[in-house]
Amino acid sequence: MFGYIAIVAISSLVGMVISKKLKSTFAKYGTVIMSNGMNGAQVAQAMLDYYNINDVKIVPRKGILTDHYNPLTKTIALSEPVYNSYSVSAGAVAAHECGHAIQHASKYHAMHMRSVMVPFIQFSSRIQQFLFFGILMGIGTEIMTSVWGLGILTATFGATALFALVTLPVEFNASKRALTWLDDTDVMKDGIEYDGAKEGLKWAAMTYVANALSALVIFLYFGWNMLTNRNKGRLV
């Protein structure tokens, strides 16, 4: 299990660095007020109106960076600092989440594929938790190091890696739609406003890149152990 622990530790460290950069970037542009006089909720509504999307709700949500779009309820949830803020950071986040709503309305294939995969990913996650819980409790080690046990882990982490990879075009495309709209409508002026939105969304995307790379490496690790029959005693 040392190899798995090392991968998780390195991935966590990289994730922490990127998360810190993301938070510092949003904090930096969180002090820059948009010249259009709109807050995050108003930016979101303006973008929905621009694309003639009338069946999506915009609601506030507690927390920081808890913003998301729910395709099942057609709801854009903006964290309270984004919903009420007039900053460049708030405008960028709001526009990004609207990008997802536009993807949904336009039947963007990658987003549909990701939505279909959600139940399978949740099931895979429960299997992984069950097996690792067995290891921590001192049982299940034999299962974990067997060929079929490694096969289960390879399959479930393969699903996780695929989901993370499919997520990348969804997130990058949502940001691209957001920046295109901000630029075309002049909602954010050229210079510090538009550049700030672009930088913030870039670092937000990097968190998904890090997650995808981590999931892919873990999948390859278990797959390699299975294929080389490293099931006699312990994982490497």
For residue range 192-203, list pLDDT tens digits in order.
999 999 999 999
pLDDT of residue 128: 81
pLDDT of residue 148: 73
**Nearest to residue 158, comparing CAs of 236, 110, 217?**
217
Would residue 80 show up in a list of annotated catalytic residues for this protein? no
Instruction: From the candidates 97, 171, 193, 199, give the one annotated as an active-site residue.
Output: 97
Number of other CB atoms surrounding residue 51 within 10 Å: 16
The strand pair at 57-61 and 75-79 is best described as: parallel
pLDDT of residue 64: 83
**Nearest to residue 95, comparing CAs of 34, 32, 41?**
41
pLDDT of residue 145: 62
What is the mean pLDDT, run by run of 10 residues, along the chain of 236 residues?
80 93 94 95 98 97 91 96 96 98 96 94 87 65 66 90 97 97 91 95 96 94 78 53
C-alpha angle 128-116-79 in degrees, rounded to nearest 5: 85
Cβ(225)–Cβ(235) below 8 Å: yes
pLDDT of residue 220: 92
Residues in the chain: 236
C-alpha angle 164-166-170 in degrees, rounded to nearest 5: 110
pLDDT of residue 75: 97
**Nearest to residue 104, comparing CAs of 91, 114, 118, 89?**
114
pLDDT of residue 53: 97
